[in-house]
Amino acid sequence: MDGYELLLNHFKKDVKLSPKEEKLIADSFSIMKFKKNEIILSAGEISSHMRFVVEGCLKSFYLNEDGKEHIVHFGIEGWWINDLYSYFTATPSTQYIQAIENGIFLQAPKEKLDELFDSSHSIERFFRLKFQNAYVAFIDRTVNSLSKTAEVRYAEFCEKYPEIEQCVPQYTLASYLGITPEFLSVLRKRQLKRRS
């Protein structure tokens, strides 16, 4: 399945598309390859594209005053990745988006997406649903980080996203969970014990 087919199938899970709308979508997105460790978006740049991951894995993160990395979210096949705050406000990003492994994404500039929204109710509805889901996921993650133990957060993450747990380095997953790599190693050993 090529990238455009994957993207269109992704749309069709939530909305019906006419052949004309499918063509509008395909014409609005361009394919981009990325290499492991490549920076796709840097802090200070305005995020002006919407990105859909076709293959590979990316991470979105910010650096604190000490230069420590804090993972905001991941982007794997069939997911979107962006700094939505920068995208919506046209202000400089506080985040970086970096490739964890080689891959491909499709991207569309904001102006093109705005044109799509104006020309198609279905496309506008699709992105409204995606933005709602992103907000719900953000709130869910915030509440979980405040109310659940690291062990519970790790177990839930592994259950919900086994493909990410397998492809990201331990220090990256630890950053996402808000724990040290050493403590994550302890949690992994506990989980393996329970399974055996």
- pLDDT (tens digit, 9 = 90+) per residue, 141-161? 888 787 889 899 898 888 888
Cβ 164 vs Cβ 76: under 8 Å? yes
Question: What is the pLDDT averaged over residues 28-56?
Answer: 96
Measured between alpha carbons, how far is 54 from 62 in angstroms, rounded to an integer?
Answer: 23
Q: In the sheet where 80-81 sits, what is the strand order?
A: 30-34, 103-109, 49-55, 80-81
What pLDDT score was predicted for residue 195?
72
pLDDT in tens, 62-79: 999 988 899 999 999 999
* pTM, two decimal places: 0.87
Domain 3-147 has CATH 2.60.120.10: yes
What pLDDT score was predicted for residue 192?
77
| C-alpha 24: how far from chain center | 23
Query: Residue 68: helix, strand or coil by DSSP?
Result: coil
Q: What is the 3-state secondary structure (H, E, C) of 131-173?
A: HHHHHHHHHHHHHHHHHCCHHHHHHHHHHHCHHHHHHCCHHHH
> Is the sign of the CA dihedral 152, 154, 155, 161 positive or negative?
positive
Q: Any alpha helices (H) in 13-109, and if so which ranges? A: 19-28, 84-89
- 1 pLDDT band, cuts 50/70/90, is low
